[in-house]
Amino acid sequence: MIDINLIRNDLELVKENIRKKFQDHKLELADKVYSLDIENRQLKQRVEEIRAKRNVLSKLIGQKMQQKLVEEANLLKNEVKNLGDELVSLEQKQIDVDSEIKSIMMVIPNIIADDVPIGKDDSENVVVKVYSEPKDKSFDVPYHTEILEKLAGIDLEASRKVSGNGFYYLVGDVARLHSALTSYARDFMIEKGYTYVIPPFMIRGEVVTGVMSFEEMDAMMYKIEGEDLYLIGTSEHSMIAKFRDSILDAKNMPYEYTSYSPCFRKEVGAHGIEERGIYRVHQFEKQEMIVVCSVEDSNKHFENMYNYTAEFFTSLDIPVRALECCSGDLADLKVKSIDIEAYSPRQKKYFEVGSCSNLGDAQARRLAIRYDAEDGTRKFAHTLNNTVVAPPRMLIAFLENNLCEDGSVNIPKALQPYMGEKTKISSK
């Protein structure tokens, strides 16, 4: 949610930002908020005038009564009553206008960074950096479920009977590999100075609307029937909400966390060939990084965060690149976003395995997360999030890039301590 002062003082900036995101249907919403804000301030002014006048008249009534001027006192009482009735009406009107402004402001997109490339959709995203050159195999790489089946590491048929499509059983060495990847990711981020956290896996509805857009909520979140609780789609949700209604001390910032959680999502996505298997699922696990920082340090942390993910993947012999999301591909709350994509030797192209996002003060504004800056001012904090690793999608990249022609999978040196010093998973 953007600052209302941007609407008041620079409406054209807000509208130009909407155009850059190719959301022209929201231009009228900016105009609507501008008009409602004027109305709201006029209502507030009138309410203050009535309260002041009522206080003056109430004192006069006391004076008239002391002077035995009962008739004049009664006339003043009638005027005070009429003012009170008007005040009740105006206060309700103010509540209604406030609510309408807030609901519209929740869908007006955040102001994107000046250097975000302008483009309509993900086809216009821009490659920022290639961290290691991709290496194709000298043999045909099977689809990931075939690799997993040869390793006796997956049971999709049983999971369909138990839970339906979009779920899986991981078995044996593959299940161990899955856990090893998240454990290594945890320790990797701890070494970078991040504090490890396991957060709640369910959050209240008011928290959901604080950390994401309504569209994302409807597409992603599972609601617990009969309770005001939702299953998290990522630990970012509960981690950012940890700071809600807080005034932080700048001396203790930044807050850098790496959090583990299962993640639950309704949307399975398009059902093309790459959507089979475990590429898109309803349930997965993820190691995340979260930063709550000052306005001034926001860009620095953003760059550090996506580079950490690239370093993590590179340490596992997985070629990756950073892809900057263009304006039309940015979610409404984001100021800037970079996807980390891993190379697929099977497809001979890259696919997304993580996303790093700077949300500016949008989440902090919704959740009232502020800090006392060293210059004495009080500001909304900046919040950032990034995927360290999210099996099973990352597992696909790992298997394809470390696959041997005989169907076995090499274990990179960095991961071997988490796999009981195994150097290879053998085909069964």
DSSP state of 315: T
Residues of the chain with CATH 1.10.287.40: 4-105
Tokens of 150: 């040869």
Q: Are 241 and 203 a contacting pair, CB within 8 Å?
A: yes
Tens of pLDDT, residues 244-255: 999 998 889 999
Phi-psi label, residue 317: left if phi above 0, alpha if psi -120 to 50, beta otherwise: left
Q: What is the pLDDT of residue 271?
A: 44
Whether this prediction's pTM lies above 0.85 is answered by yes
The CA distance from 304 to 297, in Å, is 11
N-terminal to C-terminal alpha carbon distance within the chain: 53
What is residue 273's predicted lDDT score, i.e. its pLDDT? 37
**What's the pLDDT score for residue 226?**
94
DSSP letter string over 136-179?
--SSPPPPHHHHHHHTT-EEHHHHHHHT-TT--EE-HHHHHHHH
CATH 3.30.930.10 residue window(s) in the chain: 122-425
- Tokens standing for residue 276: 């089979």
CA distance 59 to 54: 9
* Topology, domain 4-105: Helix Hairpins (1.10.287)
Looking at residue 71, its pLDDT comes to 86
The amino acid present at 10, given as its one-letter code, is D
- Does the domain made of 122-425 have the CATH classification 3.30.9.10? no
Angle, CA of 108, 110 and 116, to the nearest 5°: 130
H or E segment at 413?
Answer: none
Residues of the chain with confidence (pLDDT) below 50: 268, 270-274
